[in-house]
Structure 1
Amino acid sequence: MDEWLGELEELAREEGLWTPGDTVVVAVSGGPDSMALLHLLHRLSGRERLSLVAAHVDHGFRGEESAREAESVRQFSAALGIPCESTYIDMPAYIEESRMNSQAASREKRYAFLHGVAHTYGAARIALAHHADDQAETVLMRVVRGTGLGGLAGIPISRFEKNVELIRPLLRKYKADILRYCDLWAIPYSQDSSNGQRHYFRNLVRLDILPYLSAFNPQLPQSLVRLAELAAAEDDWLAQETKAVYERHVLPHREGCQLNRKALLGLHVALQRRLIKLILNYIGLETESTSFDSIETIRHAASERGAATWNFDAGGGIRFVREYDNLLFVRSDREERSSEGYAYAVMEGATALRLPEAEGILTFEETSAASVRRPGNRLEALFDADVIQYPLTIRNRRPGDRMAVLGLNGTKKVQDMFVDDRVAPSRREVLPIVVDANGFVLWIPGIRRSNVATVADSTKRVIRMKAQFASDFTG
């Protein structure tokens, strides 16, 4: 089995599992898989210039049996000349205190200890002894529970966690081969009696489900491992494509993101789903908690059949909002803050007013009527300086606001003007309205101006009001 060393070196180079001179913490339970891993890495450590540290956790579940395992790990590490760090954790007490299930609680405590050992020794890697049969079981478990392509990828051969890389050098080796390796090198190992307890789902899969299904396909474990490798490669490629799409189409929006609806619909459905999931992940929602139904709800809301304005609680404090052709993903707490009212007083002679709520600024410039030029767009408006009643109030809309629109008889509701101009509902709450001292709405930048204080032939002084916004607040 000397070919194992060559294969392991090749795998390490191919996957970047380590670099010469690294310190590697090896998680050793005492079972055949982890004891074989420690032995293999020890044999490689000279030519690869690896510094090894064994790390063992006694979870306190099996009394004397657990204590014997811990002692066997310490003795084997000492025989190899490898330092060993071990700890005892009263997991039954912690589970009762935390109310977590036993497997999740054990994993949390075990990994916390491994990271602590890595920090103490300055290790860049933690080696774990998962093997090909573990991979097959994991894929089948996820199929049974329901999963996507990322779940079919199974256990990754390496990944970063808390600035340390978790590596699995035995992930392409099967249990039978590992047991033969242990026999060949007379490696001592323990058998965990809890591995025969069928109330653990993984044990049920290993002992009953996989053997039953293997009657229909004797190569089922190999097929599942191959599926995981294919899915992992394709999942990685799709992840890169999705990130590129994100960088092309997704823009920041306050404390969230915004995306053009047609840009989303122009993508293949697979990228649509992944992009939605990536956006939710980027603004704080863990992807594991994002259900397929939530992603489909968002995707269908963006379709041509969806309502022009609509919102949906995506969970985790994140809200999805469709505003015509603009799709927003915002944190709910920000949405609540942005809906609060604001009002600023502007006295005669003022030159500028910053509006943080609207991410904009209003400027006021006085000029003579003789030299005035016409407004360049609807973000500018001209008023007769001698007719305007000060102080002005710059505020967001209020229920019942109406404007005597220039060129129309009577008044019109501000709300109706927002709808007519397809102003997004969230922007209606922050778009500034200029009101004079008599309470008349003079101007809504980008929307309409009133028939109050219009410039006439008799006008001598003109006030030019101009609005600038960080983003398009008017549609």
Structure 2
Amino acid sequence: MQDFVVRLREEVKQHQLWQPDSKLLLAVSGGADSMALLASMACLPEQERPAFAVVHVHHHLREESDEELKMVQGYCAERDIPFYAKHWQAERHPVRNIEQAARDFRYSFFAEMLQQLQATHVLTAHHADDQLETILMRLVRGSTLQGMTGIARSRPFKGGKLVRPLLGFQKQELYAFCAEENIPYREDATNLETSFTRNRYRQLVVPLLKEENEQVTRHFGEFSDDLQDLLQVAQPMIERQFAEAFVKKEAQWQLDLPVWREMTPALQRSVLSHFISEHWIPAGGTFQRNQMEAIMALIENPSPQKQISLSGGWQVRKRYDTLIFLSALPPENLLFEMSEEIELNRWVELPFHGKIGLFPKGKAFPKDVVATAEIHYVAAERKALPFVIRSRLPGDKIVLNKKQPFTKKISRLFVDAKVPIEERQQALVITDNGGRLLWVPGYAESIWISDSESAQEEYMLLYIK
């Protein structure tokens, strides 16, 4: 035990994984790796051992799960280690992607307990063989440069940190430690099923690599460390360029394409990889190299407005000089129908934002309304009332330019103004009761609308966004 614990202490010190006054949560499933983590943590010298508790998830996927729960709970009870468990009931299991759903449930529980117990770190028992498998799978599947680094020893997690202190240990060392110290554990029989991708690598591919070189696990770990070091050196420049090119507006990330085009191709790929890994895809999510190449191709496409959908529900839209990144597909039908009369002295609430009202010219309003409203004056007879606010229709036209009037289709108006497709679909128009188009709020005013008050106008339209 002494050698194992000494190595763990060295890992913690070398990589500064936590401090003695940290508060840890150990994710323990009951397998050899997580039980080795639990036992070794309990054996750290008291002055180096932070306070910790154990968290366990019963997935209700195997009959053995009941025994695993009892074993871990009993082990903790004998040593006065705080223990918390949560059940993922069978009725909540999805039909597809159950591995990812189980992982999401686990980490949601870890985040919940991190907040509830005011802990600082969550520890998982990922080890060197897990690292080898992860890097192999990502190399074969294709990934971002950050993804090629594999499993991080430490990364931010829900206001704390997610730490893997056993990445320097091979699986066989964990088994040997459990055998030497009589540490109980349970084997998950599903680890032998080659229907799962990771199991195929573990059972079929990794043994061949170890036959070629028994040090392959260590070499993959060194590769991961070297690549992370290289990225860390380049990170300040990448983050600086990222901050210049990307901006987050509400729930959307947007890329300024003119700024992007000033970068070298190598820097473009590095900045995009950084954005995908650190800001767009949730921690634990996957993103393949061919998806990044699809985004690059979209940027270079000469079409001013185009969009692509990527696996996982991600979507990227090109809107002239802006690239918009969405984390989930929007509703299939963004179009809507609206038609409502605007009666005198009445406000109409708009479906997406704001309101519009029609009032006699000269009506007094509070200062805050006047300060925020867009006010237009309308030359219209009483018989033209009530006005109508409605969705735009194919063929809608507006008469522009009072000095030299001309008619223009609303669709052409939007194209010339480079209005994004989503905004076009949500645009509204205001007509009088004879159908004459007076105003496209936010975009264009007809010759019958004026920004300034004069003797000809009888009404005023107020638009508050």
Structure 2 distance, partners of 1:203, 1:195, is 9
**Inter-partner Cα distance in structure 1 for 2:175 and 2:147:** 28
Query: Once the two structures are superposed, what CA deviation does each residue of 1:257-289 show, in whole Å capped at 9, x if it has no partner?
Result: 5443323444513323553676754xxx88836
Matches within 5 A, 1:315-334: 320-329=316-325, 333=330
Q: For residues 62 and 363 of structure 1, what CA distance do their matches in structure 2 show?
A: 66
CA contact (8 A) 1:42 1:52 kept: no
> What SS does the aligned partner of 1:138 have?
helix
Indicate yes or no: 2:306 matched with 1:310: yes
Could you report, residue by residue, the CA deviation over 1:306-345 in whole angstroms, capped at 9, with x for unpaired residues? 3122344456666543332244446665684564435452
Distance 2:171 2:278 in 1: 36
Shift of 1:224: 0.8
CA positional deviation for 1:395: 4.2
Partners of 1:426 and 1:339 in 2: CA distance: 11
Structure 2: distance between partners of 1:157 and 1:404: 64
Q: Percent of aligned positions with the same letter in both sequences?
A: 23
**Which residue, 221, 225, 242 being the options, matches 1:225?**
221
Who is 2:38 aligned against? 38
Structure 2 counterpart of 1:22: 23
Q: Does the Cα contact within 8 Å between 1:28 and 1:73 map onto a contact in 2?
A: no
Query: 2-side partners of 1:209 and 1:19: how far apart?
Result: 40
Other-structure match for 1:275: 275
Contact 1:30 1:70 in 2 (8 A): no
Q: Which residue of 2 aligns with 1:147?
A: 143
Number of the residue aligned with 1:399: 394
> 1:420 is matched with which residue: 411, 416, 422?
416
- SS of residue in 2 equivalent to 1:398: coil
Aligned CA distance change for structure 1 residues 264 and 342 (closer, same or farther; 3 Å):
farther
Amino acid at match of 1:12: V
Q: 1:266 to 1:358 in 2, by over 3 A?
A: farther
- Counterpart of 1:345 in structure 2 is 342
In structure 2, distance between residues paired with 1:59 and 1:351: 57
Closer, same or farther in 2 for the Cα pair 1:35/1:239, shift >3 Å?
farther
2:43 is paired with a residue whose SS is: helix
Distance in 2, Cα, partners of 1:120 & 1:454: 59
**Mapping 1:391-470, distance limit 5 Å:** 391-406=386-401, 411-444=407-440, 449-451=445-447, 460-462=455-457
Conserved? CA contact 2:123–2:163, under 8 Å: yes
Task: Compare 391-400 and 62-71 and name the one that shifted more.
Answer: 62-71
- Cα pair distance change 1:433/1:15, threshold 3 Å: same
- 221-230 vs 130-139, which deviates more? 130-139
Checking the alignment, whether the CA contact within 8 Å between 2:26 and 2:38 is kept in structure 1 is no
Q: How does 1:92-131 map to 2 (within 5 A)?
A: 99=95, 125-131=121-127
> Contact 1:388/1:453 (CA < 8 Å) preserved in 2?
no
Provide, for residues 16-51 of structure 1, a one-character-per-residue CA deviation record: whole Å limited to 9, x for no partner: 3354363544626363x4454334322215122544
Range with greater deviation from structure 2 (350-359 or 127-136): 350-359
After TM superposition, the structure 1 stretch with the greater mean CA deviation from structure 2, 53-62 or 385-394, is: 53-62
Separation of aligned partners in 2, 1:177 and 1:229: 20
In 2 relative to 1, CA 444–71 (structure 1 residues): closer, same or farther, beyond 3 Å?
A: closer
RMSD (Å) for aligned C-alpha atoms: 5.4
Deviation at 1:136, TM superposition (A): 1.8
Q: Does 1:48 align with 2:48?
A: yes
Q: Distance in 2 between the 1:65 and 1:431 partners? A: 55
* Stretch of structure 1 that moved more, 219-228 or 404-413: 404-413
1:320–1:276 Cα change, 3 Å: same
Q: In structure 2, how many angstroms separate the alpha carbons of the residues matched to 1:66 and 1:446?
A: 62
Which amino acid is the alignment partner of residue 222 of structure 1? R
Shift of 1:170: 1.9
Moved more, 161-170 or 137-146: 161-170
Unpaired stretches in structure 2, ≥5 consecutive residues = 363-373
Report how far residue 290 of structure 1 moved: 5.2
Aligned partner of 1:245 in structure 2 is 242
CA contact (8 A) 1:125 1:167 kept: yes
Measured after TM superposition, the shift of residue 225 of structure 1 is 0.7
Contact 1:342 1:396 survives alignment (8 Å): yes
Deviation at 1:402, TM superposition (A): 2.4
Between the aligned partners of 1:182 and 1:326, the Cα distance in structure 2 is 56
Structure 1 residue runs of 5 or longer lacking an equivalent are 368-378, 471-475
Structure-1 separation of matches of 2:215 and 2:271: 33
Distance, in Å, in 2 between the alignment partners of 1:444 and 1:178 is 69
- The structure with the larger Rg is 1
Q: Which moved more, 1:389-398 or 1:62-71?
A: 62-71
Is 1:137 matched with 2:138?
A: no
Q: 1:357 to 1:48 in 2, by over 3 A?
A: same
CA 1:69 to 1:231, structure 2 compared with 1: closer, same or farther past 3 Å? Answer: same
Count of equivalent residues:
443
Distance 1:24 1:332, change over 3 A: closer
CA distance in 2, matches of 1:418, 1:291: 36
* CA spacing shift, 1:4–1:243, aligned 2, 3 Å: farther
Q: Which stretch of the first structure deviates more once superposed, 156-165 or 13-22?
A: 156-165
The C-alpha deviation readout for 1:407-428, integer Å capped at 9, x for no partner, is 5577443323333343333333
Letter in 2 for 1:219: Q
Secondary structure (helix, strand or coil) at the match of 2:44 reads: helix
Checking the alignment, whether the CA contact within 8 Å between 2:340 and 2:388 is kept in structure 1 is: yes
TM-score normalised by structure 2 residue count:
0.68
Once the two structures are TM-superposed, the CA of residue 469 in structure 1 deviates from its matched residue by: 7.9
> Displacement, 1:172?
1.1
Q: Deviations over 1:365-410 (max 9, x none)?
A: 958xxxxxxxxxxx98776577994444444422222234445577
CA distance 1:4–1:469, shift in 2 (3 Å):
farther
Alignment of 1:77-226 (within 5 A): 78=78, 81-83=79-81, 99=95, 125-159=121-155, 166-175=162-171, 177-178=173-174, 186-188=181-183, 192=187, 194=189, 197=192, 199=194, 202=198, 204-206=200-202, 208-226=204-222
Q: Mean alpha-carbon deviation: is it higher for 429-438 or for 445-454?
A: 445-454
